[in-house]
Amino acid sequence: MTTHTDGFTLLHSGDSVREVGAFYVDTLARQGWRTISKYQGEFSVNVVARRGDEGVTVQVSPTGSGTSISITTYRR
Largest separation between any pair of C-alpha atoms in the chain:
37
Considering its fold, how many domains does the chain have in total?
Answer: 1
pTM of the model: 0.92
Residue at 1 is within a domain: no
In a domain, 2, yes or no: no
Boundaries of domain holding 12? 7-75
What CATH number corresponds to the domain at position 42?
3.30.530.20
Is residue 58 one of the residues assigned to a domain? yes
In a domain, 15, yes or no: yes
Question: pLDDT by residue (tens digit) across 47-65?
Answer: 999 999 999 999 999 998 8
| pLDDT by 10s per residue, the chain, length 76 | 688 889 999 999 999 999 999 999 999 999 999 999 999 998 999 999 999 999 999 999 999 889 999 999 999 7
